[in-house]
C-alpha cells in the first residue's frame, strides 16, 4: 500500500497535517505507544466491520441462544477484531501510525523539542 494516499482529492499531506488536531497533551508518546494505539484502533475498526457481518446471522437455539449468547457474541467479535489486527490486520494501523508520528514530529519541531527514542 506504499505510495497510496488516503487524502481526499485536492488536499496534500502538508495541508492535512497543518489542520490536524493538536495531539500532544503535555506528553510525548513513544513509538511503542503509538504502535499499540494504532493497532488498538485497527482492532476496534475491524470489530465494527465484523459486528455488521454477524448482525445478519441469527442466534442458533441449539446452542442455547438468548441474551447470554448475544452478550458472548459481542465479546467474541471484539476479540476477533483484536486478533486480526495483531496478526497484521488490513494495513490501517500502518497508516494511522505514520500519521500520528508525522503529526507528533511536526508538533515537536514547532516547539523545539526532541523526538523520544
- Compute the distance between CA of residue 96 and CA of residue 102 in angstroms, rounded to an integer: 10
pLDDT at 114 > cutoff 70: no
pLDDT at 56 > cutoff 60: yes
Region 79-101 average pLDDT: 92
Residue 74: predicted pLDDT? 86
Region 12-29 average pLDDT: 53
Region 43-58 average pLDDT: 90
Amino acid at each position: 500500500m506504499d505510495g497510496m494516499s488516503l487524502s481526499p482529492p485536492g488536499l496534500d499531506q502538508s495541508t492535512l497535517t497543518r489542520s490536524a488536531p493538536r495531539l500532544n497533551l503535555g506528553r510525548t508518546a513513544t513509538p511503542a505507544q503509538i504502535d499499540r494505539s494504532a493497532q488498538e484502533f485497527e482492532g476496534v475498526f475491524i470489530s465494527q466491520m465484523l459486528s455488521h457481518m454477524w448482525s445478519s446471522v441469527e442466534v442458533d437455539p441449539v446452542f442455547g441462544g438468548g441474551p447470554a449468547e448475544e452478550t458472548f457474541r459481542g465479546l467474541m467479535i471484539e476479540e476477533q477484531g483484536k486478533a486480526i489486527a495483531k496478526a497484521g490486520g488490513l494495513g490501517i494501523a500502518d497508516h494511522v501510525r505514520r500519521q500520528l508520528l508525522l503529526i507528533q514530529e511536526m508538533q515537536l519541531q514547532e516547539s523545539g523539542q526532541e523526538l523520544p527514542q
